[in-house]
Structure 1
Amino acid sequence: MTYVKNSFLHLFRFLRSTMSYFRDVLLLHGFMLFILLPFLTSLIKFILRRGQIDYLSYDSIGIILRDHPGVLLALIAVLLAILIGVFFEFTFLLISVFFIKKKEPISLRQLLRGTLIQLKKIRPSSILFFLVYFLLVLPFGGLNFNSDLLAKVKIPAFILDYIFANRVAVIASVVIAYLVLVYFSIRLIFALPQMILRDRRFGQAVKESWQATKGWNFLRLLGQFLLISAAVMLLASLSYGVVLLLLSLVETNLPEYALPGAVVAMTIMQFVFLANIVLSTVGIFYITIASMDDSGLLTGLPEWFTKSAAGEKEAWSFGKVSLFVVVAILFGIGVGTYNTNYLSNYSLKEPLTISHRGVSNGNGVQNSLDALQKTARLHPSYVEMDVQETKDQQFVVMHDFNLKALTGVDKRPNQLNLAELEDLQVTENGKSAPLVSFDDYLAEAEAADQPLLIEIKATPQDSPDMVERFVEKYKDTILAHQSILQTLDFDVATKLKELVPEFYVGYIMPFNIVGPPISKVDFFTIEYTTLNRNFIDAAHDDGKDVFVWTVNDEDTMTRMMFYGVDGIVTDNVDLLQQTIKTDLKDPTYADKLFYFVTGIG
């Protein structure tokens, strides 16, 4: 009972004390979000353009390593700049919370000065530990401190789908690994703060953290982390819910004030979002500092801190007051204009409907003729399917790079001839169907008058002229039938477009990091969890369409339509078509604000 009471006391003290530091933390986040991040993103794009590299992805790393040492060095420099930026952000916030705990006011100037002093003390061991601490332990251990510079580091849903689609042993291994990372996250939680606040060396800091977090202290820290995370999330959710409810009442009862009310509501929600960033970011630091204090690991005030400088209240001159008023007015006009445009101009867009692997609502085995026939009766815009090269340089319809999961044969498709592959049975969801050649699948699609979205799944074992032979054999049929193509391999996508400019070609991006790459393709297909409005706007400005995969629930379908995607890949064509019929209308302002909250970033 005492533990629960102390946990809530820590929570309330944290919430109360943090209010005085909103300014400093918001200024830091503003700098990171609106200055440093755009600068680094533009710098990466500039480096790639100067090196005449169209994209940055896993299949371009080898080219950069081999042919572009200058680009490699420049990208490493940017990576180091990001790392230093994250360290600066961490140190700034840590020192801020340290002074919250010490109940000592500190000026922004002194905070910056203290942070820079700590940056000068960085040792090689600090950098190595920092990499492990932030890029491995905390993000995947669930204790990330929400750095703006690391905000794009996400685990895409397709990876989770793959993990949970496999055996129990794989799921168990992932769960165990996750729990181990959480354990090490907490056991090492004091190490880096010790290195920063007390100038401890790496080995000593790790030893002291390990000693201070054993037994009951470990459970106490874990409970407090969970409590603060839940409290901050609950506050934000309640705030958003109340604002949306009030706006709905205004729209229903006072429709003439709906737009002004929505602008005010959106402004409040933006403030709540910023407040949530502050609270969730500083929360982990407050628990850490408070626990260090309880364990006797905190020192006194640092030598560089001067009480008089921090405690003096500067008089507001006429010039400062005038500057503050001008900035506030300009900020208010900017926010009001942006919010009004957002609420007035956005409307839902009808997307192309695309059946994932030729299946809808489990009506057959993926990439089979039977499923194609049934799905074609639903008349989707396209049926997405997968093509791989065989050992005898033919083409088979198959998604997986290994046949074992679907056929029981532990071989790659390119290790067997087409005739051998056609003798195999594919089993899925209690159904069975023969493996089929691309020629037969294409003929069936033609007979059903069903255009295809053909994904070419390239492998290192493909013949050197695979793309050329594919184009020579199928070009006329693909164009006549108005089918389109996509691939995960950037070189294959580029070659398809160069060989046949009339082809409508897409490049598949598993996740969004720095926006759409420079490319000659016609569209991008991106996994939906990291997609945002900024990516879509940037792609559209460059004349590219955006398809999204794999969307299987109504809420996400509606949200993707609101973002303006051009096509939705789904496992349930019926649901997507019904959602388009019922939800393709001008959304209410409350709907728009809901999509705004769920799609920020």
Structure 2
Amino acid sequence: MKILRRQLQLTYHFLKQSHHSFRDVLVVHGLMLFIVIPGLTATVKFLLASGDITYLALDQFFWLLTHHPFVVASLIGVGILILLAVFFEFTFLLFSMYFIQKKQRIRLTQLLRLSIQQMKKIRVSVLVFFLLYFVLLLPIGTFNFRSDLLAKIQIPAFIMDYIFANRVSVIASFVVGYLVLLYLGIRFLFVLPELIFNNKKVGEAIEISWTLTKKRLFFIFFTFLGITLSILAINALAFILLIFIQNLFDSYLPKYALIAAVFIMFFMQAALLLNVVLTTISSFYFIIFILDQEQRLPEQLIPLPSHIAATFSTWQMIGLALVGSLFGVSVGLYNYDYLNHAQLSVPLTISHRGVSNGNGIQNTLASLAKTSTTYHPNYVEMDVQETSDHHFIVYHDFSYRNLAKTSLVPEENTLEQALSLQLKENGQVGNIASFDAYLKEAKRLNQKLLIEIKTQQKDKKGLAERFLAKYKTEIDDQHHLVQSLNYQIVETIKTQAPEITVGYILPFNLVGPPKTQADFLVMEMTTLTSQFVTSAHQDDKKVFVWTPNDIGQMERMMFYGVDGIITDRMDLLNEAKKIETTEESYADKLAYFVVGIG
């Protein structure tokens, strides 16, 4: 209760003084969202285009290093620019909160100039520490730190799924690692302010931060948690109330429902913006508040004028009115268009590795039959690898260790060796299937497949050619789909067998859809955005997503407009698809908007 009471007092004290800082936070978010992030994205695209590089993937790093060293050096430069941009963002916000705490008015131009001057003082040691600092802030960022650039750094959902689907030791290691990062992130919380306000060396700043947080560990943690939860709760209540009001219009005043929805959606957007602003400034203000208590803030950063005009000139008022009107009209037109056209897509249902909710062993004949006859997916996604004697088997991992408890490797052993292995998963026992047997069973079940070609071989083109020589006709006849994480395999198959529908798998979204002959893109859901889907559709490419495993995630992907969902929970996906999409109310569409933002 003592911590909660202190938190409420701090929040009241902050809100009482911070109304001027709303401008500052909106400016820095505007810079990041509309100038810095688009500028850096455009720069990366230009660099790739100048080197005639159609895609970025980890497996091509050494090739890029030897064939395009200038592009690699330039991309590293972009990475440094990102680091500097985040440093500027943090510096700007810390200075803004400093002047609030000191009850000093400052012009926006002065604040920007002060932040730029601080950038000139950056040492190499500070940049190196910054890399570590960001890693340490990731767990805290789960609660509070809202940087538009840091928001791009996320742990992919498929990695989280893997962690929590495996043995207790893996989960325990992850939790311990997360808690260690959280602990260090809190202990290093005041390093950056010490570097900025007091020009300390990195080592000195770390020592000071360690001392300041020694007896405040839980207070800091629960303060950040309290700020986040309270703002989320207010936002949730606001959304519920607004959707309830829209429901009343839909039910009793349908003639005015669309007009009401346009305005209510505007209020929702304002609430979301307010959420970002409040979360950001309250977090940074809390840091400044503690530093001021400990007398770690300088009394004056720059000489300030004795008076700053509180009113605007006539021309400033006219300019603000024009900008405000233009903004209001733009938002209103966007809302009107959204409310007239938004609806959930009806995606293809795809069972991940032929298993749903742990009903069998992945990629086996028994699971294929059980999932196909129980859930009737449009496609069953499965994995094929080539053995050392040039046969193809259905298996996911590049080692048999996880399922067969042996160190043998599919591509280094024969078909006979693979078929002799016993697999154990989800409390069941089974065997590896040859791709020929899997195709035969799929044909018997009248089940279409999404075939992923996996390999660690250097001769990707040769593998693709051998695969096509054996299976091109049947894949085309049965209307199966093919996909791969390897760009060369995708391009080879599409070039030599254009009649086959081929997809390119992307583990993350960096700069939008790549240039490829692929017919569809398969995107990991963590970094997928509606903008990516729209861009892909404009390139006449469909988008599949992997692997949403709860209805909320599925609905969000359907809101984005994806064409297919690959999931481990076919039961939930079938439920999500039952949502009526032909007679949606405006309240439903507003709910989709909230889900999409989330």
Which bracket does the TM-score occupy, shorter chain normalised? over 0.9
Match of 1:329 among 306, 311, 325: 325
Match of 1:501 in 2: 498
Match of 1:571 in 2: 568
Q: Kindly provide the amino acid, as one letter, of the partner of residue 326 in structure 1.
A: L
Match of 1:222 in 2: 221
- Equivalent-residue separation in structure 2 for 1:280 and 1:314 (angstroms): 26
Deviates more, 1:75-84 or 1:106-115: 75-84
Cα separation, partners in 2 of 1:465 and 1:193, compared to 1, 3 Å: same
Match of 1:313 among 301, 309, 323: 309
Equivalence map 1:27-176=2 (5 Å) = 27-134=27-134, 136-142=135-141, 145-176=145-176
**Native 8 Å contact 1:385 1:452 kept in 2:** yes
- Equivalent-residue separation in structure 2 for 1:177 and 1:42 (angstroms): 35
- Equivalent-residue separation in structure 1 for 2:4 and 2:535 (angstroms): 49
**Native 8 Å contact 2:461 2:492 kept in 1:** no
- Equivalent-residue separation in structure 2 for 1:516 and 1:586 (angstroms): 32
SS of equivalent residue, structure 2 residue 503: strand
Match of 1:439 in 2: 436
Cα separation, partners in 2 of 1:51 and 1:105, compared to 1, 3 Å: same
Shift of 1:177: 1.2
**Native 8 Å contact 2:24 2:93 kept in 1:** no
- Equivalent-residue separation in structure 1 for 2:303 and 2:277 (angstroms): 24
Match of 2:380 in 1: 383
Match of 2:356 in 1: 360
Equivalence map 1:417-436=2 (5 Å) = 417-436=414-433
TM-score normalized with structure 1 length = 0.95
- Equivalent-residue separation in structure 1 for 2:344 and 2:2 (angstroms): 53
CA RMSD after TM alignment? 1.9
Match of 2:289 in 1: 290
Shift of 1:47: 1.0
Shift of 1:580: 2.1
- Equivalent-residue separation in structure 2 for 1:487 and 1:546 (angstroms): 14
| 2:338 is the counterpart of 1:342 | yes
Match of 2:257 in 1: 258
Match of 2:447 in 1: 450
Cα separation, partners in 2 of 1:451 and 1:2, compared to 1, 3 Å: closer
**Native 8 Å contact 2:144 2:224 kept in 1:** no
TM-score normalized with structure 2 length = 0.95
Match of 2:194 in 1: 194
**Native 8 Å contact 1:138 1:144 kept in 2:** no
SS of equivalent residue, structure 2 residue 152: coil
- Equivalent-residue separation in structure 2 for 1:516 and 1:109 (angstroms): 38
- Equivalent-residue separation in structure 2 for 1:425 and 1:38 (angstroms): 51
Equivalence map 1:172-183=2 (5 Å) = 172-183=172-183
- Equivalent-residue separation in structure 2 for 1:394 and 1:458 (angstroms): 13
Equivalence map 1:484-495=2 (5 Å) = 484-495=481-492
- Equivalent-residue separation in structure 1 for 2:344 and 2:203 (angstroms): 56
SS of equivalent residue, structure 2 residue 149: helix
- Equivalent-residue separation in structure 2 for 1:75 and 1:586 (angstroms): 48
Match of 1:416 among 406, 413, 431: 413
- Equivalent-residue separation in structure 1 for 2:459 and 2:73 (angstroms): 32
SS of equivalent residue, structure 1 residue 19: coil
Q: Kindly provide the amino acid, as one letter, of the partner of residue 275 in structure 2.
A: N
Deviates more, 1:15-24 or 1:68-77: 15-24
- Equivalent-residue separation in structure 1 for 2:539 and 2:449 (angstroms): 25
- Equivalent-residue separation in structure 2 for 1:68 and 1:353 (angstroms): 40
- Equivalent-residue separation in structure 1 for 2:401 and 2:140 (angstroms): 32
Match of 1:515 among 501, 505, 512: 512
Match of 2:347 among 331, 348, 351: 351
Shift of 1:414: 2.0
Shift of 1:513: 2.6
- Equivalent-residue separation in structure 2 for 1:172 and 1:371 (angstroms): 30
- Equivalent-residue separation in structure 2 for 1:382 and 1:390 (angstroms): 25
Match of 2:540 in 1: 543
- Equivalent-residue separation in structure 2 for 1:463 and 1:130 (angstroms): 39
Match of 2:472 in 1: 475
Shift of 1:373: 2.1
Match of 2:269 in 1: 270
Shift of 1:282: 1.9
Deviates more, 1:73-82 or 1:335-344: 73-82
* Long gaps (5+) in structure 1: none
**Native 8 Å contact 2:387 2:413 kept in 1:** yes
- Equivalent-residue separation in structure 1 for 2:343 and 2:218 (angstroms): 49
Shift of 1:494: 1.6
Match of 1:532 in 2: 529
**Native 8 Å contact 2:559 2:596 kept in 1:** no
- Equivalent-residue separation in structure 2 for 1:296 and 1:466 (angstroms): 67
Alignment deviations for residues 4-38 of structure 1 (CA, whole Å, 9 cap, x no partner): 43222112222333322111211221121112211
Match of 2:578 among 577, 581, 597: 581
**Native 8 Å contact 1:195 1:205 kept in 2:** yes
**Native 8 Å contact 1:15 1:279 kept in 2:** no
